[in-house]
Amino acid sequence: MTSPHDGALVADLHNDLILLVDHFDRRGRPDYFGEFWLPELRAGGVNVQVLPVFIDEQFQSEGALRRTLLLIERIHRLAEQYPQLAVCRTGADIARATADDRIALVIALEGAHALGQDPELIRTMERVGVRVVSLAHMGRTMLADGSGVDDSSCGGLTPQGLEVLAEMERLGIVFDLSHLGIAGVEDVLEHARRPPLATHSACRAVTDIHRNLSDTQLKGVANLGGVIGVAAAIPPFIDPGLPTAARVVDHIEYLASVTSIDAVALGPDFVDDYFQEVYGGWPTLPGMEGTWGASEIQRPSDLPRITEEMMTRGFSDADIKKVLGGNAMRVLDEVMGVPAADSVP
């Protein structure tokens, strides 16, 4: 029986693989991507890979800009090193890359620590190819509060954060809601005029954790034409006690029932290999204390298990293909590298 996974365009909205590439670069293994990640992406059928640049805590103040630019440079060099890859700035670039059987890479910022309190640096990031940006991680930046500090503060976007949001929309950079605190999400849903992404989140009604989105937030993203990527590889987001492909599809089903199938995508957040290699296990993160089992979706090669579970539950081929990549591409095509209509001379 042919799986719709085989003929689908598969877009992964969040994989931290560049951190592990950098880690092994510094240990004399510059071909690590080709040895490990390229076969994994091919086995999972991934055609479009959003690559977030995450800044570890030790770099988040004075070292953030340098670290960010070094990782962005490494992404560009990956595409030079491997002809199977292409860094893409627009939806048209992605279409050309995938037509040539190349994996389209989209550069993203997770937390935007590099901007500091200088909104004009978002223009610099646009020039070097950044096309998706979130403004906070677990804590606080000069632009916004992350969901990890909701219990102690509930700050939304700062004036600089609102300025960055407006400039991102003008330039054609997709806003990423994942990791924003409650007030920040409210600010974006009030002020955004273009479809956003929540690249790697899930449903709070299914798994009650601060990183997941409430029904009101899910509906707000969908009402803007945006899309939520289900963080299939993160056990505490999916189900700490049973992080299976079936539970991932529970989130997909619930999300579709609250919004529509057109608002659902995949943003697995494949970070386990990095944590295991660098920290010897998962570090303690705010609001995610405790233990959990290994996710059934650990690497890109596991993605077909999600498709199989959706098939078992009677999802149509058309709806499966929307979840696997069609919905994500709709947002990327509309926003990525496309200046806002009112900014075009």
pLDDT at residue 284 tops 80:
no
Q: Which residues of 205-244 are buried (b: 16+ CB within 10 A; e: fewer)?
A: bbbebbbbbeeebbbbbbebbbbbbbbbbbbbbbbbeebb
pLDDT at residue 150 tops 60:
no
pLDDT at residue 182 tops 90:
no
In a domain, 47, yes or no: yes
Mean pLDDT over residues 25-34, rounded? 97
- Using pLDDT thresholds of 50, 70 and 90, give the confidence band for residue 20: very high
pTM to 2 decimal places:
0.94
Alpha carbons within 13 A on the beta-carbon side of 299:
11
Cα distance between residue 136 and residue 131, in whole Å: 16
Candidates 36, 132, 37; CA nearest to 88 is 132
In a domain, 236, yes or no: yes
Phi-psi region of 208 (alpha: psi -120 to 50; beta: other; left: phi over 0): beta
pLDDT at residue 170 tops 80:
yes
pLDDT at residue 183 tops 90:
no
* 327-335 vs 91-99: helix crossing angle, rounded to 10: 130
Residue pointed to by tokens 């608002």 = 263
* 17-25 vs 272-279: helix crossing angle, rounded to 10: 30
Summarize pLDDT for 43-54 with one digit per residue, the tens.
Answer: 999 999 999 998
pLDDT at residue 345 tops 50:
no
Question: What percentage of the chain has pLDDT greater than the value 70?
Answer: 92
Written as one letter, the residue type at 66 is R
Note down the domain range covering 303: 4-338
pLDDT at residue 60 tops 70:
no
pLDDT at residue 1 tops 70:
no
- Using pLDDT thresholds of 50, 70 and 90, give the confidence band for residue 291: confident
Measured in degrees and rounded to the nearest 5, phi and psi for residue 42 equal -65, -40
In a domain, 344, yes or no: no
Three-class secondary structure of residue 67 per DSSP: helix
Summarize pLDDT for 185-217 with one digit per residue, the tens.
Answer: 889 899 999 999 999 999 999 999 888 999 999
Cα distance between residue 226 and residue 50, in whole Å: 16
Cα distance between residue 345 and residue 336, in whole Å: 18
Summarize pLDDT for 307-320 with one digit per residue, the tens.
Answer: 999 999 999 999 99
Can you give the CATH number for the domain in which 250 is found?
3.20.20.140
Report the residue count for the chain: 345
- Give me the pLDDT at residue 138, please: 62
Summarize pLDDT for 84-116 with one digit per residue, the tens.
Answer: 999 999 999 999 999 999 999 999 999 888 898
pLDDT at residue 66 tops 60:
yes
Query: Which residue would you say has higher pLDDT here, 142 or 102?
Result: 102
Count of structural domains, the chain: 1
In a domain, 227, yes or no: yes
Cα distance between residue 241 and residue 153, in whole Å: 29
- Give me the pLDDT at residue 273, please: 93
In a domain, 345, yes or no: no
Three-class secondary structure of residue 246 per DSSP: helix
- Give me the pLDDT at residue 131, please: 98
pLDDT at residue 330 tops 60:
yes
- Give me the pLDDT at residue 129, please: 98
Mean pLDDT over residues 258-281, rounded? 94
Written as one letter, the residue type at 134 is S
Cα distance between residue 137 and residue 181, in whole Å: 9
Sign of CA dihedral 270, 275, 280, 284: negative
In a domain, 343, yes or no: no
- Give me the pLDDT at residue 140, please: 62
Question: What percentage of the chain has pLDDT greater than the value 90?
Answer: 73
pLDDT at residue 305 tops 80:
yes
In a domain, 282, yes or no: yes
pLDDT at residue 344 tops 90:
no
pLDDT at residue 151 tops 60:
no
